Structure 1
């Protein structure tokens, strides 16, 4: 396993890598048609969830000062609510976006310094027990990914698919 420059990320890096595996596994077998289904018109669809997962990776990229632009940023900015009037990218496009940004973020996670992790970062949430810095924002991103992967896991069952596997793709190194 790759070792991050900062010991503060020794928990984050494995979580990031596991989420990369889970993203692939969670979407496995979901058709483009099923990915746009909403249950009883109250759930978000899988495309919205996957788009928000891609957005999390771009959010991390921004925190780590990568100069990249999310091709679908406006659709998913700050967890923007699903809007049936908007045209969303395909699941296949989102998988490609994820595969492009994730290795870049992974490399930055390995290289980032403690000084940068400790630098102020305004969340806008004003939680008294959470210091607003880059490290804690990275933690919040990882938490958001957990939440979204759980939603997709539930949607798999609601769409009549088997639960997500935890098989590892050894070639996925980010």
Structure 2
């Protein structure tokens, strides 16, 4: 069943994992239904314990992931595509990835994971909404912005109770 996507991102995830469906415990698999409002964003995040395969059932999604680097002077590379119903995309374990509904109607996708209990680390929430907060000097230097910008973003995360 769909969940409510009436939130700041316009996306909701309903999971079938070892907590919600104990019968899959120890099988190394899980599934999620993802509902996107028009222009809804599944924000940049990582799945630290599993790879993901996404299939679009309805709507149109712009999806992508960014590679990691292991050599000097090698840039992170974005792999992205616009998906239509029936299209499939794979997100490798641990890499930052996202999905954006680029259509004017809702979108629905199913994601399968290679873990019975997938992990999730939403990048903006982790960096700007951690408790206690990451020192703003660190974030200002990392993003090469003024500390006032970091303070503002952190205050937005406090306000929205992420």
Q: Which protein is richer in helix relative to its size?
A: 1
As a proportion of its length, which structure holds more strand? 2
TM-score (normalised: structure 2): 0.31
TM-score (norm 1): 0.30
Greater RCO (Cα-Cα under 8 Å, separation 6 or more): 1
